[in-house]
């Protein structure tokens, strides 16, 4: 992370938050469509490897913690919000020209907020994208999950491709 000496917020990575808002809106829009047009756990085949299948996940990735009594809803929401706050601070510390890193962080923030919104409002995360090969199924996911994964991959690529100035102390 680099320290921004200019106090002008528009010169920081925060200018990329429009992408977070776009991810959040797209995620909520697609979840709304899935919830209103799909029947729970009934696959709608798109092609040989993709189904639209409505599922509710009370846990995290791969339904980890989904079988717990409900404490996970609040724990996961607080944890995700703490991570979002940290990522927002990271964005604020970045220069706006650090495009790949800022885009990566914005994707993760938008995805995290999309899933936190579901978790707080509904008590579960709406998943509906189901990828499979014959009888081998990947756990269902959503646009928010896709944005988080893409952001994480881009952040790793950024770490190898771009050498950012280290923070001066």
Q: Tell me the helix, strand and coil percentages in the chain, rounded to 5.
A: 55, 15, 25
Number of structural domains the chain divides into: 1
Residue from 27, 118, 145, 158 carrying the catalytic annotation: 145
Enter the pTM of the model: 0.86
Domain presence at residue 6: no
Domain presence at residue 100: yes
Each residue's pLDDT tens digit, 38-86: 999 999 999 999 999 999 987 666 555 555 556 666 887 898 999 999 9
Domain presence at residue 7: no
Each residue's pLDDT tens digit, 120-166: 999 899 999 999 998 898 889 999 999 999 999 999 999 999 876 54
The residue count of the chain comes to 169
Domain presence at residue 166: no
Maximal C-alpha separation, the chain: 56
In the numeric block, the tokens 């995360």 are attached to: 125
Q: Catalytic residue at 118? A: no
What pLDDT score was predicted for residue 149? 96
In the numeric block, the tokens 């927002």 are attached to: 88
What pLDDT score was predicted for residue 121? 95
Domain presence at residue 20: yes
Domain assignment of residue 73, given as a range: 14-38+46-56+69-161
Rg (CA), the chain: 18
Q: How far apart are the first and last CA of the chain?
A: 12
Domain presence at residue 5: no
Each residue's pLDDT tens digit, 95-112: 999 999 999 999 999 999
Domain presence at residue 98: yes
What pLDDT score was predicted for residue 77? 86
Q: Catalytic residue at 127? A: yes
What pLDDT score was predicted for residue 95? 93
């Amino acid at each position: 992370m680099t320290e921004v000496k200019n106090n002008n917020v528009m010169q920081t990575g925060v200018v990329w938050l429009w992408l977070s808002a776009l991810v959040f809106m797209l995620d909520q829009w697609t979840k709304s469509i899935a919830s209103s047009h799909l029947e729970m756990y009934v696959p709608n085949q798109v092609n040989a490897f993709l189904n639209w299948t409505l599922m509710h996940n009370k846990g995290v990735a791969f339904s980890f913690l989904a079988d717990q009594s409900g404490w996970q809803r609040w724990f996961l929401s607080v944890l995700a919000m703490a991570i979002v706050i940290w990522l927002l601070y990271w964005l604020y510390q970045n220069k706006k020209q650090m495009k790949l890193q800022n885009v990566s962080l914005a994707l993760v923030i938008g995805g995290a907020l999309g899933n936190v919104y579901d978790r707080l409002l509904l008590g579960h995360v709406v998943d509906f994208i189901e990828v499979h090969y014959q009888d081998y199924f990947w756990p269902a996911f959503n646009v928010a999950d896709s944005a988080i994964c893409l952001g994480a991959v881009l952040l790793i690529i950024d770490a190898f491709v771009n050498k950012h100035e280290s923070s001066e102390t």
